[in-house]
């Protein structure tokens, strides 16, 4: 009875109000209110797309008006890079903010091994991930629409509330694909890029609005790889490029590393991407310098751009554009003629780490919060994106264990950013590693790989014998001067040589620069690499390697691992 009278007196309400006001004065707000105030997030990820294929990055031949509009309404990054040039590793890095030598995925997960995967396997389940963190710590509703390629596709992974994907990692055809739609499976007869757009629009139109949302729209286009872009395009943008010369695709002779890949591949590769190596390699060569394939590629880019436009219009129609952070990027770039290459970093032997297949577009827009018409030359990596998103939505106190990534969130809002400790980005592709600054790039090959597989080894031995005979007193200095060039290391002055044409490795004039960059590369991997996934120190990979013959030769008993995580990562457990 006394309790009822106390409640009726209004004392409880006044005390609650006073407590809320006190919290507000101290900078605290109730958890539900904070979640409601967080911006929605739409993360659009394309597949194998270099920024140089977009109008806002200077391409005047490929039509991308909607992505150009998005860039004009926010900030565009000129120097954003993937830390790996293949689909699964780079997507795993976006999800975890970790390097391949930390999360264990070093190349694309092979579709041919799906039957051997553990049931319900997700290759990054043991780590803190972007969608699960946003859901558990930020109160977000989460949705995946599009390509997954990080394990079992048949049921929701990483806590996604909404799950629409397809079972393949390699896009063999744009039409008649199998779809997994929140547990239901069916065929999609139309172009799969349009299908992903339709599902994203449907998701936005049908939301309740009670929670902020994270929509991860992962197109498997424009892709740029055979057979899906080989020959004449079959989509509604094909006519836009009919008869065009496609001069934005450089014409060059066959790259020596691609030639080596084709020539020596059959000795090592039994299959690749679902088709025989000979057929795959031959198709890459036929695609190079082929205007029809470039027209096809361009039409797929325009189809993605059309989807981006529809998504932006849907946000506006639903009154969501002013409270939604929109991010556009790609899992990695793609060489489409540059340096005599077509394809990804592992489509050469050894793997290449040139800029074009690693540079990615990166655009952020948040109407009313991120100033318009911004562009920046800040050097960033895909391993920085996770930290940046958390910081931007008010979750900066969350620690991503052992990430090399940093948040550039202040820059998005036009603030100054002191980032002296992050003046370089790092890349790795199995037997190849690199450190890149704004001015220099140093590429190093696994020493054991060079010793066992480098075709220059015999040449190096003969060279050393000749030098010892002709110049006995200066032999050591001369051999050291030329050794890096003969064993595969690369050093480029990007300021004077942005196309990476002149390898300065081993040149005495740049010896100090090479030494410092080599030390930085070693220090980085010594600090961050997990020994169980550090291939250069006898570690292994999850599911498969693209060059297993290397690691089996270098590490006795070496084999990939496929182990299901029994206790997925969660702060709430």
Q: At how many degrees (to 10) do helices 475-487 and 456-470 cross?
A: 170
Task: Tell me: pLDDT of 1 over 70.
Answer: no
Cα 158 to Cα 401: distance, rounded to the nearest angstrom: 17
Q: What pLDDT, on a 0 to 100 scale, did the predictor assign at position 497?
A: 96
Res 450: pLDDT: 77
> What gap in Å lies between CA 150 and CA 123, rounded to an integer?
6
Share the mean pLDDT of the chain.
Answer: 87
CATH number of the domain located at residue range(s) 40-425 in this protein: 3.40.720.10
Q: Give 273's contacts (C-beta < 8 A, 6+ positions apart).
A: 108, 170, 225, 280
Mean pLDDT of 317-345: 95
What is the structure's pLDDT at 571?
76
At residue 112, the pLDDT reads: 87
324-330 and 362-365 as β-strands: parallel, antiparallel, unpaired? antiparallel
Contact (Cβ atoms closer than 8 angstroms) between residue 87 and residue 225:
no
Classify residue 413 as exposed, middle or buried by CB count within 10 Å of its CB (0-12, 13-18, 19+). Answer: middle
Residue 397 has pLDDT above 50, yes or no: yes
- Cα–Cα distances in angstroms (integers) from residue 153 to residues 71, 122, 139, 169, in the given order: 32, 9, 24, 10
Task: Give one DSSP letter per residue of 198-234, joined into a string.
Answer: HHHHHHHHT---SS-EEEEEEEEEE---TTTTSSS--
- Examine the pLDDT at 475 and tell me if it is beyond 70: no
pLDDT score of 19 more than 80 = no
Tokens describing residue 445: 């090959």
For residue range 31-70, list pLDDT tens digits in order: 334 566 899 999 999 999 999 999 999 999 999 999 999 9
Is pLDDT of 276 > 60?
Answer: no
pLDDT-derived band of residue 467, with 50, 70 and 90 as boundaries? low
Q: CA-to-CA distance for 518 and 495, rounded, in angstroms?
A: 19
Torsion of CA 497, 501, 503, 508, to 10 degrees: -40
Q: What is the mean pLDDT of residues 528-542?
A: 97
Distance CA 218, CA 147 (A): 5
Structure token pair of residue 59: 């391409």
Q: Tell me the C-alpha to C-alpha distance, in Å, between residue 318 and each of 161, 171, 209, 326.
A: 21, 32, 10, 15
Tell me the pLDDT band of 371, cut-offs 50, 70 and 90: very high
Which of 155, 153, 157 is CA-nearest to residue 96? 157
Helix, strand, coil percentages (3-state) for the chain, rounded to 5, are 40, 15, 40
Name the pLDDT band for 283 (thresholds 50, 70, 90): confident
At 78-120, the pLDDT tens digits run 999 999 999 999 999 999 999 999 999 999 999 889 999 998 9
Residue 486 has pLDDT above 80, yes or no: no
Q: How confident is the model at residue 268 (pLDDT cuts 50, 70, 90)?
A: low
Write out the residue limits of the CATH 3.40.720.10 domain(s) in the chain.
40-425
More confident residue, 290 or 327: 327
Q: Over the stretch 399-442, which tens digit does the pLDDT of each residue have?
A: 999 999 999 999 998 888 877 778 999 999 999 999 999 999 99
pLDDT of residue 386: 98
């Amino acid at each position: 009875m006394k309790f009822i009278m106390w409640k009726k007196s209004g004392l409880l309400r006044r005390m609650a109000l006073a407590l809320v006001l006190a919290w507000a004065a101290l900078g605290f707000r109730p958890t539900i209110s904070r979640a409601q105030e967080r911006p929605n997030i739409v993360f659009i990820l394309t597949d194998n797309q270099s920024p140089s294929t977009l109008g806002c990055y200077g391409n005047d031949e490929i039509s991308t008006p909607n992505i150009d509009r998005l860039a004009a309404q926010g900030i565009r990054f000129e120097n954003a890079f993937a830390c790996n040039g293949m689909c699964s590793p780079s997507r795993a890095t976006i999800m975890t903010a970790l390097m391949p030598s930390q999360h264990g995925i070093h190349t694309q997960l092979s579709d041919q091994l799906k039957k051997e995967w553990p049931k319900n396997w997700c290759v990054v389940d043991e780590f803190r991930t972007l969608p699960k963190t946003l859901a558990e710590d930020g109160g977000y509703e989460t949705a995946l629409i599009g390509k997954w390629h990080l394990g079992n596709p048949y049921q929701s992974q990483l806590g996604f509330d909404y799950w629409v994907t397809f079972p393949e990692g390699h896009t063999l055809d744009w039409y008649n694909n199998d779809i997994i739609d929140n547990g239901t499976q069916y065929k999609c007869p139309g172009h799969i890029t349009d299908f992903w757009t339709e599902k994203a629009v449907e998701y936005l139109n049908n939301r309740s609005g009670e929670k902020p949302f994270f929509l991860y729209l992962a197109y498997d286009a424009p892709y740029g790889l055979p057979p899906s872009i080989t020959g004449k395009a079959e989509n509604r943008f094909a006519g836009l490029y009919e008869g065009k010369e496609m001069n934005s695709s450089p014409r060059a002779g066959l790259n020596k590393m691609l030639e080596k890949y084709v020539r020596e591949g059959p000795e090592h590769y039994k299959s690749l991407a679902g088709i025989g190596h000979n057929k795959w390699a031959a198709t890459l060569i036929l695609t190079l310098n082929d205007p029809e394939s470039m027209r096809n590629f361009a039409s797929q880019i325009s189809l993605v751009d059309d989807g981006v436009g529809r998504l932006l219009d849907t946000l506006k129609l639903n009154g969501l554009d002013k409270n939604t952070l929109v991010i556009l990027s790609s899992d990695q770039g793609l060489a489409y003629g540059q340096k005599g290459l077509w394809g990804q970093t592992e489509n050469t032997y050894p793997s290449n780490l040139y800029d074009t297949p690693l540079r990615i577009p990166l655009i952020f827009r948040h109407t009313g919060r991120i100033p318009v018409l911004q562009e920046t030359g800040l050097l960033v990596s895909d391993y920085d994106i996770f930290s940046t998103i958390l910081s931007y939505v008010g979750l900066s106190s969350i620690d991503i264990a052992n990430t090399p990534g940093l948040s550039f969130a202040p820059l998005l809002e036009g603030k100054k950013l002191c980032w002296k400790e992050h003046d370089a980005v790092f890349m790795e592709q199995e037997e190849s590693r690199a450190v890149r600054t704004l001015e220099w790039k140093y590429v190093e090959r696994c020493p054991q790989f060079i010793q066992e597989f480098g075709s220059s080894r015999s040449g190096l031995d003969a060279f050393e014998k000749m030098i010892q005979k002709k110049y006995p007193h200066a032999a050591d200095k001369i051999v050291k001067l030329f050794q890096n060039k003969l064993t595969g290391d690369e050093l480029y002055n990007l300021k004077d040589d942005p196309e990476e044409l002149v390898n300065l490795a081993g040149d005495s004039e740049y010896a100090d620069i090479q030494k410092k960059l080599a030390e930085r590369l070693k220090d980085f991997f010594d600090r961050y690499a997990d020994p169980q996934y550090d291939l250069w120190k006898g570690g292994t990979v999850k599911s498969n390697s693209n060059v297993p013959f290397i690691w089996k030769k270098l590490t006795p008993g070496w084999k990939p691992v496929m182990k299901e995580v029994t206790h997925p990562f969660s702060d709430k457990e």
